[in-house]
Amino acid sequence: MMPPKKSPLDSIAALWRRAPKGFEPPVGQTPHTVVWTENKWRLLRFSPATKKYATPILMVPSLINRWYVLDLGPGRSLIEWLVAQGHEVFCIDWGTPGAEDRYLTWDDIAGRYVGRAVRIAARETGDTHVLGYCLGGTLATTYVAAFPDGVASLVNLAAPVDFAHGGIMSTWTRTATFDVSSIIEAFGNVPWQLMQASFNMLRPTLRMAKAVAVLDRAWDDEFLDGFLATEKWGHDNVSFPGECYRQYIVELYRENRLIAGTFQLLGRPARLSAITCPVLAIAFADDHIVPVPCAEPLIPAVASRDKQIMVDRGGHVGAVVSRKAADRLWPALSTFWAQRD
């Protein structure tokens, strides 16, 4: 016998019942230790009870988002799941930049900070797998292209590489009226509120669609916990260090130097053709932030013999933290690393 269909009134009643215990589920709950702190960033270490794989995994999240999107909560955490499989995981927490960080450059963040994280994660085994998510993937890719030592493999998860195919973001950033220097001179660090507004304009009806989804399914505690955790993360953004942002827009979005082979990191060429380690690029068909044509050109550009592209359904965030991700994406990642341990 089919259960009775739920109505919006059932969802409203469920929200009312939930109100006393709050609407912000705890995030970032997987046990970890802090193994390095420098300026505002920290390196977190997640150790399994029984270590099954020798090579650790270093996760590089987006510079303008909080790291805990990879650890949203029990049953919704990629990190928790990987640790349960026997992987040791390191993850960068970028922290919150202060006004004094407006002069941080791509060299500082991708070269020095990511480089330090790679060396610490690889300290015991000699190398580490590197996963970069979104802008974190671009940071990681430029590092691996310039400094390949110590990197066992590179996974780019919804990460922009070919900025000529970045969709609406490319169009906006390449217009003459987008005055990057004036923004940085006015604010120092680019305010997260400004960037959040830009992302909202990519899909103006998304907020209404989310409201409808909640009214349809608020009676489903598992759905609501996941939705609220994702929304908490989505509104907990980080400002972009000014000088690094200038390079990001000018050298990557406008001049597309990573694909052109003219990007440099700490004075060294950061050419994709210099990457020879195993590479996996993952893109999502419904991603409006990093479209598939923006992410997949990594594969033909690298010199690796062991390389592959994986295109799945889903959006930029949902495809990484959803129930379907736990069934498809997460096992695919674990298998990739296990086969190259």
Q: How far apart are CA 281 and CA 279, in angstroms?
A: 7
- DSSP string across 280-341: EEEEETT-SSS-HHHHTTHHHHS--SSEEEEEESS-TTHHHHSHHHHHTHHHHHHHHHHHT-
Model pLDDT, residue 308: 97
Residue 132 inside a domain? The answer is: yes
Model pLDDT, residue 2: 45
Model pLDDT, residue 198: 81
Task: Give residue-wise pLDDT tens across range 7-16.
Answer: 666 666 666 5
Cα separations in angstroms, 329 against 66, 117, 239, 322, 326? 21, 24, 29, 10, 6
Q: Identify the CA nearest to 154 among candidates 228, 57, 231.
A: 57
Residue 161 inside a domain? The answer is: yes
Half-sphere exposure in the Cβ direction for 169 (13 Å, CA) = 23
* Mean pLDDT calculated for residue range 76-90: 96
**Backbone region of residue 261 per phi and psi (left: phi > 0; alpha: psi in -120 to 50; beta: other values):** left
Q: Above 70 in pLDDT, residue 219?
A: no
pLDDT over 70 percentage in the chain: 89
Q: How many CB atoms lie within 10 A of CB 117?
A: 26
Model pLDDT, residue 214: 67
Q: What is the pTM of this model?
A: 0.89
Model pLDDT, residue 323: 81
Total structural domains within the chain: 1
Q: How many helices and strands, by DSSP H and E, does the chain display? A: 17, 10
Task: Give residue-wise pLDDT tens across range 242-296.
Answer: 999 999 999 999 999 999 999 999 999 999 999 999 999 999 999 989 999 999 9
Pairwise pLDDT comparison (243 vs 215), residue with the higher score? 243
Task: Give the range among 2-6, 39-43, 67-71, 75-79 with minimum mean pLDDT.
Answer: 2-6
Model pLDDT, residue 18: 61
pLDDT over 90 percentage in the chain: 69
Q: Above 50 in pLDDT, residue 240?
A: yes
Model pLDDT, residue 21: 58
Burial class (CB in 10 A: 0-12, 13-18, 19+), 87: buried
The CATH number that applies at residue 74 is 3.40.50.1820
Task: Give the range among 78-92, 136-150, 153-167, 213-227 with minimum mean pLDDT.
Answer: 213-227
Tokens 């010199």, residue located = 303
Q: Above 80 in pLDDT, residue 206?
A: no
Tokens 């970069």, residue located = 132
Residues 6 or more apart whose Cβ sits within 8 Å of residue 89: 45, 46, 56, 57, 59, 79, 82, 83
Average pLDDT value over all residues in the chain = 90
Q: Above 80 in pLDDT, residue 201?
A: no
Residue 305 inside a domain? The answer is: yes
Model pLDDT, residue 226: 74
Residue 126 inside a domain? The answer is: yes
Q: What is the phi/psi pair of residue 249, to 5°?
A: -75, -50
Model pLDDT, residue 169: 86
What domain range includes position 84?
A: 8-339
Residue 51 inside a domain? The answer is: yes
Model pLDDT, residue 105: 98
Residue 133 inside a domain? The answer is: yes
Q: Above 70 in pLDDT, residue 25?
A: yes
Half-sphere exposure in the Cβ direction for 93 (13 Å, CA) = 17
294 residue type, one letter: C
Tokens 């920290």, residue located = 42
Model pLDDT, residue 150: 94
Task: Give residue-wise pLDDT tens across range 140-169.
Answer: 999 999 999 999 999 999 999 999 999 888
Active site residue ranges: 134, 287, 316
Model pLDDT, residue 19: 57
Residue 3 inside a domain? The answer is: no
Model pLDDT, residue 1: 45
Joined together, the tokens standing for residue 123 give: 């300290």
